[in-house]
Amino acid sequence: MKEDVLPPIEETAGAGALAPPLPPKRSVSIFRKRVRKFKTLKRGYYSFVILLVAYAISFILPVLINNKPLIVHYHGKYYFPMVTYYPASEFGQNAFGEPNYRELKREFASRSDGDWVLMPIYPYSATESLLDLPGSPPHPPSRGHIFGTDDRARDVFVRLAYGFNVSLTFALLVLAISYVVGVFVGAMLGYFGGKLDILGQRAIEIWSSLPFLYTIIIVSSIIIPIYIPGRNLVAQPSFWLLIAILTIFDWMGITYYVRGEFYREKAKDYVGAAIAMGVSEPAIMFKHILPNALTPVVSFAPFGVVANIEALVALDFLGFGLPAPTPSWGELISQGTNYLTDWWLVFFPLAAVFVTLLLIVFIGEAVREAFDPKEYSRLR
């Protein structure tokens, strides 16, 4: 029987010596693990992508939805009405003020002299009353106005689209400002404790007992909002006034969670090591403890956005929100209660609110599951 021939020891050792060493295993931070977990939760992740894309598109709405053209070519010259104001006489129209660019486009199209007007995809404005439509407003959905018009003959689809940007921007600004204040106050109370914590908690309890709705009504009755033409979406005093009022009531909720996290984290060994090394207290609080105490902040943020959008819609519905003619979902819903037979004034605004809040809730559920502190705990 033929025996198996083993390779020489030298060759075996040489082959082992020439084998490349394994690369060192890279550690993955807990935050990256949580982001990967979030991406695996498809419902929340896709909701986040859809909402992010829609919000990004809402900032270029003047290019997509507007009654002003992108470019006008007239007598060999190019005009940009979105950037510069032009009177109607500039284009040969016998009228005062700004020309009707939709009518100007039809006029140029009937001629063959090379003049043309490039209008946006949906050529209507959020504050434009379409008085040339037949009948009296509100008008039902049609081919030209897919969601119909409201009681002032303004296109509902345009107002919903611009209202999405207003509502989400408002909610995010209130959330950001209130969380900065709430995290700072909660960090101070949780880290220092003692008399500061006791007095701070009592002050928060007293402040939280103030009636939010009554405060809004009183302030709205005293301060008359000023409408600034051309800057009605963001730059109105009432917009920032509402943000300030909601912020002074909204920051207290997150304070309790951050305070509890700081109480838990400051008792751990790494905080004691930092103190022994002479690290300053602000650095310990915001460089070492805060990154480990952000789980409740991130988890509750989507639900805070939902609450802020609901607050703005409710205030607009009651008439204490943003001033007219700012595009507002709550104002459209309020119109729907006055025109119950005009179903589009009820259905489309409520559908826009429902879909937006549903997407944010899906995001919140996915974030809460991905940032669950038990998921990557050493005790598991």
156-370 CATH choice from 1.10.3720.10, 1.20.1250.20, 3.40.30.10, 3.20.20.70: 1.10.3720.10
Residue type at 349? P
Tell me how crowded residue 165 is: count the other CB atoms within 10 A of its CB. Answer: 18
Residue type at 322? L
Model pLDDT, residue 98 = 87
Residues 297-315 have pLDDT tens digits of 988 999 999 999 999 998 8
pTM for the model stands at 0.84
pLDDT band per the 50, 70, 90 thresholds, residue 230 = very low
d(Cα 123, Cα 62) in Å, to the nearest integer?
10
List % helix, strand, coil for the chain (3-state, nearest 5). 60, 5, 35
Model pLDDT, residue 256 = 92
CB 357 within 8 A of CB 188: no
Per-residue tokens: 258: 């951050």
Per-residue tokens: 192: 């220092």
Per-residue tokens: 337: 């209660």
d(Cα 240, Cα 246) in Å, to the nearest integer?
10
Model pLDDT, residue 378 = 44
Domain coordinates of the chain in residue numbers? Answer: 67-118, 156-370
pLDDT band per the 50, 70, 90 thresholds, residue 208 = confident
Percent of the chain with pLDDT over 70: 86
Q: How does strand 71-74 pair with strand 77-79? A: antiparallel
163 burial type by CB count under 10 A (0-12 exposed, 13-18 middle, 19+ buried): buried
Mean pLDDT of 208-230: 69
Residues 125-169 have pLDDT tens digits of 999 999 888 888 999 999 989 999 999 999 999 999 999 999 999
For the packed helices 252-265 and 194-208, what is the interaxial angle rounded to 10 degrees? 160
Q: Which of 149, 106, 120, 154 is nearest to 324 (CA)?
A: 154
